[in-house]
Structure 1
Amino acid sequence: MFIATVVLSVLLALAFAGASVPKLSGKDAMAAQLHNLGVSARFMRVIGALEALGAAGLIVGLWIGALGVAAATCLALLMAGAVATHIKARDTAKNTAGSLVLLVLSAVTAALALAAL
């Protein structure tokens, strides 16, 4: 079970670190996409910072188990908010799927990390 937790944590950390970069840098395409969902440019940077912190928490959580559980749980909650935002904006299923997959993977990682404590 520990190996599965490590693999999922590293993959999620890479995914969230990659997702945070365009939000933190204020890329116009990302700002336009999130504007269509009703997310302001300022909040876009907050989301990017939360994703980057969550990614770091997942990696550090490999040594400090409780931090990994907390990071994965917080990322799952962040993605639940993302899915809700996509649904509220009546976005397409294709655009919502990425957030939904990250939500499920974050929740599974949190459960595995919690079981490993």
Structure 2
Amino acid sequence: MFAAYVTVTVLAALFTGGAAVTYLIGHDYPKAQLDMKRLPRSWGPVLGTLLAAGSVGLLAGFAVPLLGTLAAGGLVLYFVGAFAAHLRVGSRQLVGPAVFLVVVVAALALNLGYHGPW
């Protein structure tokens, strides 16, 4: 159980950390995604900061389990919102947000399974 918890948590932190970097450096892909979802580009740095905080929180959860649980829960909400934003504009490009959502849900489930709810 511990190995799965560590592996999935680190994988989720790498995924979300990588996404955060693309938002924070102003890469073209997140800008195109914001445009496609009809969201203001000014949200890019905010979304990148949320992803970065979630990524760091997942890793900090190894030292403070409650922090990891809260970070994973926040990332689940983030990617549910991303999925909803795709559906709102009629986008059928759902694989990306679905993969991220599955990974962070798995991280949350393993965190709760390993540490318990509190």
TM-score (norm. length: structure 2): 0.90
Aligned positions of 1:29-108 closer than 5 A: 29-92=29-92, 95-108=93-106
How many pairs align?
115
Q: Percent identity?
A: 37
- Structure richer in helix, relative to its length: 1
Task: Report the aligned-residue RMSD.
Answer: 1.2
Unmatched 5+ residue regions in structure 1? Answer: none
Task: Name whichever of 70-79 and 31-40 sits farther off.
Answer: 31-40
Offset of 1:81 from its aligned partner? Answer: 0.2
- Contact 1:57–1:67, Cα closer than 8 Å, also in 2: yes
Separation in 2 of the partners of 1:42 and 1:97? 25
- Corresponding residue of 1:2: 2
Change beyond 3 A, Cα 1:29–1:116: closer
Q: Secondary structure at the match of 1:62?
A: coil
Q: Secondary structure at the match of 1:80?
A: helix
Unmatched 5+ residue regions in structure 2? Answer: none
